[in-house]
Amino acid sequence: MSSEFYLLVNGSSRPGSTGESEPVLNPATGESIGRVAYASAEDLDEIVATAARGIREWRAVTPWERGRTLKRAADILRADVEAVARSLTLEQGKPLGQARIEVERSADFLEWGGEQARRIADRVVPGRVPGSRIEVQNHPIGVVAAFTPWNFPMALASKKFAGALGAGCAIICKPSQETPASVLAMARALLEAGVTPAAIAVIFGHAGPISDHLIAAPEVAKVTFTGSIPIGKRLAAAAGAMIKPVTMELGGHAPVIVCGDVDPEQAADVLARAKFTNAGQICLCPSRFFVEESIRERFTARFVAQARALRVGDGMDPATQMGPLANARRLEAITRLVEDAKERGASVLAGGERVGNRGFFYAPTVLADVPDEAAILHEEPFGPVAPILPFTDETEVLEKANGLEFGLASYVFTNDARRQRRLTDALEYGVVGVNGPLTHYPEAALGGWKESGIDTEGGIEILDPYHRIKHVNIY
């Protein structure tokens, strides 16, 4: 069945004014599942003007009612989980069970944004002149331009919709054109729940011209992006030139430090699951496995067994545990990283090659003897490849763990309380997983350090990036 994924503007779906569109591919087959409409510059002018009207209407809705509306949208999404999860699997490739979790998690974010809207509270500070006071008021920042990726197309967009709409902003979201269906489904749930139609736009098209256009538009007050560090730098520079604030959730290259005191088999089971979920296309995913020499052999043997046992296939098949990579670019990138490591002397303990010649499948891969200069130890792999690296000295392993420009996620496995404290304190990362996997739940803020980002998403702070403060001094 082929679908048309149109622009969603002011509550209506429509093609772009030039009629331009691109096919959307199912990564399990490489075949088209429909076409996505591209917005032209003319469309963008109209979309920005609509959003500027939308924010005037939506910010006038009380925070209490905005909260009710976002909660209703979450319920609508949950009621439709099966259909939405299927469209997510078809466009992104992940196994259906993982797609269902993503839809549920997206609903949780919308609900959480709504709950926090109900807790918006301005502050009154006594003034220095007797009887005077200062009000510190939260105001919606304005129209938000949001750029979201293809790995968790719905969940990563839900954080931005929840924060922006909860705060009373209008949002223009440009998801990846490779995964249009799930964000459109979420936006429709928001509209059905009663969000002002003009306050939501979902658009697709050529990423560069769209981001240039939106960031330069005077009506757009805030830029939020989830994706790669190079694109994040580009967007932050463009926004900085206009003195527009940004929220940047960028890439990572998560070190895992597995200490000799843990059960190696148990740690390998947990970490193999974390590594191969979503075919490794997760910014929080463990990607450099430093294992203490005393347990390295046992850990590696179990990790390899887990990688080999994984059932790779079409995400629509209930037996599938790992789906394809999301697009042909990832297949090329992973192939290049593994070939580079092999050429430099790495041994392939599992996988190491494409699976079949249809779709974008790559085998769960484990590498050993990877030299420091291999590209995979410096570039975010964003795929199902695990390099296992031995260590004996804690200072040295910390130096390596902290030695890159990334600062998103990291992991520590140890039952020694002092060592746990020492390592978590020393890791220069915004997120640390201790003795377990990492996922982002709405109730806790999360963001990257160093080049991995600016700002956080989620938590009681979820609305902060979408508010600006007005200081009113009353005598």
Tell me the backbone φ, ψ of residue 333, rounded to 5 degrees: -65, -45
Q: Work out how close the CB of 322 gets to ligand NAD at its nearest, in angstroms, rounded to a whole number.
A: 18
Q: Work out how close the CB of 330 gets to ligand NAD at its nearest, in angstroms, rounded to a whole number.
A: 7
Q: Work out how close the CB of 96 gets to ligand NAD at its nearest, in angstroms, rounded to a whole number.
A: 21
Task: Identify the active-site residue in 102, 115, 219, 249.
Answer: 249
The amino acid present at 321, given as its one-letter code, is: Q
Task: Rank residues 146 and 189 by Cβ distance to ligand NAD and give the closer one.
Answer: 146
Task: Rank residues 115 and 451 by Cβ distance to ligand NAD and give the closer one.
Answer: 451
Q: Work out how close the CB of 11 gets to ligand NAD at its nearest, in angstroms, rounded to a whole number.
A: 24
Q: Work out how close the CB of 101 gets to ligand NAD at its nearest, in angstroms, rounded to a whole number.
A: 16
Q: Work out how close the CB of 426 gets to ligand NAD at its nearest, in angstroms, rounded to a whole number.
A: 24
Helix axis angle for 96-117 and 153-167, nearest 10°, is 10
The β-bridge partners of 170 are 143
Task: Rank residues 40 and 226 by Cβ distance to ligand NAD and give the closer one.
Answer: 226
CB 28 within 8 A of CB 315: yes
The token duo for 60 is 């006038």
The conformational region for residue 362 under phi > 0 = left, psi -120 to 50 = alpha, else beta, is beta
Burial of residue 232 (number of CB atoms within 10 Å: 0-12, 13-18, 19+): buried
- Return d(Cα 305, Cα 151) in angstroms, integer: 26
Task: Identify the active-site residue in 283, 292, 380, 457.
Answer: 283
Task: Rank residues 380 and 464 by Cβ distance to ligand NAD and give the closer one.
Answer: 380
Strand, helix or coil at 207? helix
Task: Rank residues 360 and 413 by Cβ distance to ligand NAD and give the closer one.
Answer: 360
The token duo for 349 is 């303990």
- Return d(Cα 436, Cα 5) in angstroms, integer: 38
Q: Work out how close the CB of 120 gets to ligand NAD at its nearest, in angstroms, rounded to a whole number.
A: 28
For the chain, the first-to-last Cα distance in angstroms comes to: 66
The token duo for 410 is 């990291």
Judge whether 297 counts as a catalytic residue.
no
Binding site for ligand NAD (CB under 6 A): 147, 149-151, 176, 207-208, 211, 226-228, 230-231, 235, 249-251, 283, 329, 380, 382
Handedness of CA 316, 317, 322, 328 (dihedral sign): negative
Judge whether 283 counts as a catalytic residue.
yes
Task: Rank residues 350 and 409 by Cβ distance to ligand NAD and give the closer one.
Answer: 409
The β-bridge partners of 35 are 4, 23
Tokens 């080049």 belong to residue: 451
The token duo for 375 is 């590209």
The token duo for 460 is 């009681």
Task: Rank residues 211 and 277 by Cβ distance to ligand NAD and give the closer one.
Answer: 211
Please give the angle made by the CA atoms of 382, 383 and 387, to the nearest 5 degrees.
95
Active site residues: 249, 283
